[in-house]
Amino acid sequence: MPSNAHSETDKKRILVLTADAGFGHRSAAKAIVAALEDKYGHDCEVVMVNPLNDERAPALLRDSQTDYDFIIQNIPRIYRIGYEVSDAAIPATLAESASIVLLYDVLRDLLDEYQPDAIITTYPAYQAPLSAIFAIEEISIPLITVITDLVTVHRLWFNHVADVITVATPDLKDLAEEYGMEMDRVHITGIPVHPRIANESRTKEAIREELGWDPTLPTFLAVGSTRVEQLTTALNVLNHFGQPLQIAAVAGKDEELHIQLKEMDWHVPVHIYGFVENMPALMHASDAILCKAGGLITTEALASGLPIILIEYIAGQETGNMEYVVNNQAGALVQEPVELLELLAHWMQDGGAKLKICAENARKLGKPHAACHIADLTWEAIQHGVTTKHRMIPSRGALTKILDTFSMPWERK
Contacts of 109 (CB under 8 A, 6+ apart): 56
* pLDDT tier for residue 100 given thresholds of 50, 70 and 90: confident
Task: State whether residue 13 is helix, strand or coil.
Answer: strand
Examine residue 5 and state whether it is found in any structural domain, yes or no.
Answer: no
Which CATH number do you get for residue 317? Answer: 3.40.50.2000
Element (H, E) at 143: strand 143-146
277: in domain: yes
Shared domain check, 249 and 116: no
Helices (H), 41-75: 59-74
In this predicted model, what pLDDT tens digit does every residue of 260-286 receive, in sequence order?
Answer: 999 999 999 999 999 998 999 999 999
217 and 299 both lie in a single domain: yes
Is the pTM value of this prediction over 0.75? yes
Domain range for 351: 196-365
Average pLDDT for the chain: 84
Same-domain pairing of 122 and 217: no
Say if residue 172 is in the same domain as residue 259.
Answer: no
Give 97's pLDDT tier (boundaries 50, 70, 90).
low
Q: In terms of domains, do 294 and 241 share one?
A: yes
User: What pLDDT score was predicted for residue 384?
Assistant: 86
pLDDT-based confidence at residue 413 (cuts at 50, 70, 90): very low
Choice among 173-177, 230-234, 313-317 with the minimum mean pLDDT: 313-317
Can you tell me the distance from the alpha carbon of 270 to that of 260, in angstroms, rounded to the nearest whole number?
A: 13
Which tens digits make up the pLDDT trace of 291-305?
999 888 999 999 999
Domains held by the chain: number: 2
Residue 412, in any domain of the structure: no
Q: Is the separation of the CB atoms in 317 and 293 below 8 Å?
A: no
Encoded amino acid at 370, one letter? A
Which among 225, 229, 199, 221 has a CA at the least distance from the CA of 271?
221
6 within domain boundaries: no
Q: Are residues 55 and 156 in the same domain?
A: yes
Angle at CA of residue 290, ends 286 and 294, nearest 5°: 115
As a whole number of angstroms, the longest Cα–Cα distance in the chain is 75
Contact criterion met (CB below 8 Å) for 275 and 252? yes
Band (pLDDT 50/70/90 cuts) for residue 24 is confident
What pLDDT was estimated at residue 177? 93
The CA distance from 169 to 347, in Å, is 27
CB neighbour list of residue 1: distance below 8 Å, 6 or more residues apart: 108, 111, 112, 137, 139, 412
- 119 has pLDDT over 70: yes
Which of 4, 367, 408 is CA-nearest to residue 192? Answer: 367
Q: H helices within 317-368, ranges in order?
A: 319-327, 337-365
pLDDT at residue 213, rounded to an integer: 97
102 and 85 share one domain: yes
Same domain, 76 and 132: yes
Are 202 and 311 found together in one domain? yes
Closest CA to 122 of 220, 44, 25, 11: 25
Q: Please tell me the total number of residues recorded for the chain in this structure.
A: 413
Q: Does residue 4 lie within any of the structural domains?
A: no
Residue 387 carries which DSSP code?
Answer: -
pLDDT at 375: 97
392: CB partners within 8 A, 6+ apart: 160, 161
Query: Does residue 358 belong to any structural domain of this protein?
Result: yes
DSSP assigned state of 328:
T
Neighbours of 405 (CB within 10 A): 10
Closest alpha carbon to 165 in 131, 149, 188: 188
Check if the beta carbon of residue 14 is closer than 8 Å to that of residue 120.
yes
For 126-139, the pLDDT digits (tens) are 998 898 889 888 88
96 falls within a domain: yes
Asked if residue 225 belongs to a domain, the reply is: yes
Q: Please tell me whether residues 178 and 304 are part of one structural domain.
A: no
pLDDT, tens only, 381-411: 999 887 654 455 555 455 555 555 544 554 5
What is the tens place of the pLDDT at every residue in 308-352?
Answer: 999 988 887 788 899 999 999 999 999 999 999 999 999 999 889
Are 74 and 92 in a shared domain? yes
User: For residue 365, what are the contacts with CB-CB under 8 A and spacing of at least 6?
Assistant: 302, 324, 328, 330
Does 163 share its domain with 235? no
What is the per-residue pLDDT for 385?
Answer: 80
Q: How far apart are CA 382 and CA 75, in angstroms?
A: 43
Residue 255: CB atoms within 10 A of its CB come to 12
